[in-house]
Homo-oligomer: A and B are copies of this chain.
Amino acid sequence: MTKPTPDPRHTLTLRDVSEASGVSEMTVSRVLRNRGDVSAPTRAKVLEAARALGYVPNKIAGALASQRVNLVGVVIPSLSNMVFPEVMTGISETLDGTGLQPVVGVTNYLPDREESVIYEMLSWRPSGMIIAGLEHSAASRAMLARAGIPIVEIMDIDGEPINHAVGISHRRAGRQMAEAIIAAGYRKIAFLGTRMPNDFRAKKRLEGFEEALAKAGLALVDSEFYSGGSALLKGREMTAAVLDRTPEVDFLYYSNDMIGAGGLLYCLAQGIDVPGRIGLAGFNGVELLDGLPRKLATMDACRLEIGRKAAQIIAQAPATSQVEELFPTLQPGDTIRRS
């Protein structure tokens, strides 16, 4: 089946609407933007002509003339792990009333890619930028700092922001989780996570975690890393590997809820007493956990709230830098209580 491509005739301009309505381009522009005073009859004529023609304004020309762009760049590492979509929801929600529009760029945790995404976005002269993390290449930081627009780094606050920051302390989150685990009586603790050299937040959680263990005179008894593939499946496999290699282990700390969920399903299937024989905990507080046979202990990463606050900062464009620290809540669930 084929039919001709839409005909490439002349794209409509203000001039076309002006001619069709018998009103000057300037007045047409005013009507279309709801600016200034335009008499009701003129307004009606213009609107009718624009509608009839199917006129769509050219924002490129508009932006160049007005030096104003209603776009907000959002740079995130990934869309596929269910944490950033929720951040996006918070951002969209908050931007919705303001006339600003988010534009998403994905870096796949690659610093080079991040740099080019930032460059590309800045070249469209957005009104603000929201970027995941505090770690960026020197060039990226320089571009952002020079851009003359509000920059909000999100998710993390353990570091030096370029301008504004909204997030949680992952270092402290790791520490807190370790303290809860130790308090519950577990002593032979293993870590299971992604092998992601550029996931600085996961790394900081692990650092905080080990720091708190050390303070209690403990160290990890084992650890296991993965990359790629179905997180749920990897969670199962890694859990099997650790239990096999280190049978005395009594707690498994996962770097995210998906692999934690895989581990939980595995333990339940094996008939392992959770949380009696082995305790489990993840990170993120994803909605999926609500549907599991048992509630995995986790820590809410405040994703929605981070998105909202970041968008608010962009919308307000405050004169001074803000750093908003949010505080994740430990959700003990049913997998961290030592009987």
Q: Which residues of A contact B (CB under 8 A)?
A: 1-9, 11, 54, 56-61, 63-64, 69, 79-80, 82, 85-86, 88-89, 92, 101, 103-104, 106, 119-120, 122-125, 142-151, 162-163, 229-236, 261-262, 265, 269, 287-288, 290-293, 317-323
Q: How distant is the Cα of A292 from the Cα of B293 in the complex, in angstroms? A: 12
CB-contact partner of A80 in B82, B163, B291, under 8 A: B82
A4 to B164 CA separation, bound complex (whole angstroms): 10
- Bound-state Cα–Cα, A89 to B232, Å: 20
CB distance from A79 to the nearest CB of B (A): 4
Asked, given contacts A89-B80, A290-B230, A291-B265, whether A58 binds B125 with beta carbons under 8 Å apart, the answer is: yes
Question: Do A292 and B148 have beta carbons less than 8 Å apart?
Answer: no
Bound complex: CA A122 to CA B144 (Å)? 28
Closest B residue, CB atoms, query A235: B291
CB distance from A76 to the nearest CB of B (A): 11
Whether A54 contacts B143 by the Cβ 8 Å rule is yes
Considering the complex, give the chain B residue whose CB is closest to the CB of A104.
B104
Closest to A69 in B: B60
Protomer copies: 2
Contact between A2 and B320 (Cβ–Cβ < 8 Å)? yes
Q: Is the CB of B69 within 8 A of A79?
A: no
Which residue of B is nearest A151, CB measured?
B6
User: Within 8 Å CB of A59, what residues of B?
Assistant: 123-125
A310 to chain B, nearest CB (A): 15
Minimum CB distance partner of A89 in chain B:
B80
Whether A319 pairs with B5 at a CB distance below 8 angstroms is yes
Is B148 a contact partner of A7 (Cβ separation < 8 A)?
yes
- B contact residues around A150 at 8 Å (CB): 5
- Kindly list chain B residues whose C-beta atoms are within 8 Å of the C-beta of A235: 291
Check B5 against A56 for contact (C-beta < 8 Å): no
Closest to A53 in B: B146
CA distance A3 to B58 in the complex (A): 37
Q: Which of A64, A124, A230, A291 has the most CB of B within 10 A?
A: A291
Interface contact B5-A291, CB-CB below 8 Å: no
What residue in chain B is nearest A10 (Cβ atoms)?
B148
Known pairs A4-B320, A57-B123, A229-B287 / 19 extra A-B pairs, C-beta < 8 Å: A3-B321, A4-B319, A5-B317, A5-B318, A5-B321, A9-B148, A54-B143, A54-B146, A56-B122, A58-B125, A59-B123, A59-B125, A60-B64, A60-B125, A79-B79, A232-B291, A233-B290, A235-B291, A262-B291
